[in-house]
Amino acid sequence: MLAFRACLGQFATGVTVVTCSGADGHPCGITVNSFSSVSLEPPLVLWNIAKSSNSLRDFLNTKDFAIHILTDDQMELALQFAKSDHTLFENIEFRKSDADVPILPGCLAVFECSTHQVHDAGDHHIIVGHVDRFSWDRAGPLLFFSGHYRQMGEPTD
Ligand SMILES: Cc1cc2nc3c(=O)[nH]c(=O)nc-3n(C[C@H](O)[C@H](O)[C@H](O)COP(=O)(O)O)c2cc1C
């Protein structure tokens, strides 16, 4: 299991924070690197949530969520939303979208989604989102590789 995890970690990814509003309206967020694009038409993306996550019920019970792709100067956000803590949004700047989803400022890209499908997959659920709105900015991405946060190097092509 540890070896499998280490082997999976050889796939370099970006880093996202996925947010939603919980049943009582409290903001929820979780650091996620399982984000992937799925379809252009209709516009679909996916991410996976562990069945053991404290945020599982909030994300399964909501229709709306937002995926934030982090810049290389947002590592503190990645560290914050990887904690198991219900005071995650303390001292974090955000606004609420029309769908009542917490939106974090200063991100590389934001996908505002509504849940399209949820698939049961081992110890995770795969959440497929329909992208209702998106925006992006120019900045370097925060990367995750082999258990470490990193910044992107120079282009090689
Ligand atoms: C770089 C990174 C990527 C992660 N990706 C995922 C992911 O794709 N899905 C997931 O459920 N948890 C992921 N996690 C773990 C969660 O961010 C969080 O640490 C964990 O869910 C514990 O908090 P919780 O029990 O309150 O959810 C990731 C953590 C890190 C640091």
Question: Hey, what's the torsion of the CAs at 62, 90, 80, 85, to 10 degrees?
Answer: -70
Q: What does the pLDDT read at residue 6?
A: 97
- Rounded Cα–Cα distance for residues 110 and 141 (Å): 13
Whole-number pLDDT of residue 88: 85
Which letter, b or e, does each residue of 79-107 get, where b requires 16 or more Cβ atoms within 10 Å of its Cβ?
ebbeeeeeebbeebebeebebebbbbeeb
Cβ pair 27, 97 in contact under 8 A? no
Could you tell me what percent of the chain has a pLDDT over 70? 99
Ligand 1 atom 7 nearest Cα: 32
Mean pLDDT value of segment 10-34: 96
pLDDT in tens, 70-89: 999 999 999 999 999 767 89
pLDDT computed for residue 4 by the predictor? 97
**CA distance linking residue 15 with residue 67, whole number of Å:** 10
Per the prediction, the chain carries an average pLDDT of 96
Residues with Cβ within 8 Å of residue 6, at least 6 apart in sequence = 146, 147
pLDDT in tens, 40-71: 999 999 999 999 999 999 999 999 999 999 99
Residue nearest to atom 23 of ligand 1 (CA): 84
Q: Are 141 and 14 in contact (CB under 8 A)?
A: yes
The three-class DSSP label of residue 23 is coil
Ligand 1 pocket: which of 8, 17, 33 to mutate (most atoms within 8 A of CB): 33
First to last CA, the chain: 36
Considering the segment(s) 14-97+108-143 as one domain, its CATH architecture is Roll (2.30)
Question: How much of the chain, in percent, has pLDDT values that exceed 90?
Answer: 91
The whole-angstrom distance between residue 116's C-alpha and the CA centroid of its chain comes to 16
Could you identify the atom of ligand 1 that is nearest to the CA of residue 30? 17
**What does residue 80 show for φ and ψ, rounded to 5 degrees?**
-60, -45
Which of 10, 15, 20, 32 has most ligand 1 atoms within 8 Å of its beta carbon, as the pocket-test mutant?
32
pLDDT for 121: 98
- What whole-number distance in Å separates Cα of residue 52 and Cα of residue 43? 28
CA 94 to centroid of ligand 1, rounded, Å: 20
pLDDT at 86: 65
Kindly state the DSSP code that residue 83 receives in the 8-state scheme: S
Average pLDDT on 26-33 reads 96
